């Protein structure tokens, strides 16, 4: 028996070896210890999903999804709109500071530009729903197309702000040699 004066974590118990214990029997399915089976087909672990029929879900028995699910779909691709919005904001800031006047009118102009971008996003989503889902029968999983259209609009707005800034236009003409 182990010495009882030692802490329990340091005690060891001697067990005599038993035949057949600890030895891995050879496998018949081609498994070899330490060798990966690359490129060999596997059997699926779960059963396959049943196909969903394309039934019209316009009645009240349509499956309802939570609002968070819809918002998550709208957020996919949002980095495009965020980048376009950031570009438009920086360009607007350059334009507004260069005006050396009050900030009320330029701020209203920028807010109206953002509201127009939101309207364009909604219009792109509506057109995508009508064309892709209704006419072509495709499922939209993201809002990347609408976000990309919104980003292009916001980049155009930013360029328009820069074109109205005198020193930016002069610097551009100097660089291009016009």
Number of domains in the chain: 1
Note the pLDDT of residue 58.
Answer: 55
Q: Looking at the domain assignment, is residue 79 inside a domain? A: no
Q: Looking at the domain assignment, is residue 172 inside a domain? A: yes
Q: Looking at the domain assignment, is residue 101 inside a domain? A: yes
Q: Looking at the domain assignment, is residue 144 inside a domain? A: yes
Quick: pLDDT tens for 7-33.
Answer: 666 667 676 777 766 665 655 666 667
Secondary structure, 3-state, 105-127: HHHHHHHHHHHHHHHHHHHHHHH
Quick: pLDDT tens for 28-51.
Answer: 666 667 777 677 666 666 666 666
Note the pLDDT of residue 30.
Answer: 62
Q: Looking at the domain assignment, is residue 24 inside a domain? A: no
Q: Looking at the domain assignment, is residue 126 inside a domain? A: yes
Note the pLDDT of residue 115.
Answer: 96
Note the pLDDT of residue 152.
Answer: 96
Q: Looking at the domain assignment, is residue 69 inside a domain? A: no
Q: Looking at the domain assignment, is residue 114 inside a domain? A: yes
Distance between CA 144 and CA 75 in Å, rounded?
Answer: 9
Distance between CA 31 and CA 33 in Å, rounded?
Answer: 7
Residue span of the structural domain in which 164 resides: 93-176
Q: Profile the chain (178 residues) by mean pLDDT over runs of 10 residues.
A: 63 70 61 69 64 56 73 80 95 89 88 95 89 80 88 96 90 87
């Amino acid at each position: 028996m182990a010495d009882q004066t030692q802490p329990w974590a340091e005690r060891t118990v001697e067990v005599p070896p038993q035949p057949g214990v600890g030895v891995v029997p050879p496998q018949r399915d081609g498994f070899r210890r330490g060798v990966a089976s690359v490129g060999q087909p596997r059997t699926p672990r779960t059963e396959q999903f049943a196909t969903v029929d394309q039934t019209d879900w316009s009645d009240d028995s349509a499956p309802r999804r939570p609002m968070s699910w819809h918002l998550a779909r709208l957020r996919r691709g949002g980095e495009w709109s965020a980048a376009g919005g950031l570009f438009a904001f920086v360009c607007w800031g350059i334009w507004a500071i260069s005006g050396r006047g009050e900030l009320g009118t330029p701020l209203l102009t920028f807010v109206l530009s953002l509201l127009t971008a939101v309207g364009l996003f909604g219009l792109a989503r509506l057109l995508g729903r009508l064309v892709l889902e209704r006419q072509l029968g495709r499922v939209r999983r993201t809002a990347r197309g609408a976000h990309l259209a919104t980003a292009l609009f916001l980049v155009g707005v930013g360029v328009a702000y820069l074109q109205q800034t005198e020193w930016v236009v002069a610097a551009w003409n100097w660089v291009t040699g016009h």
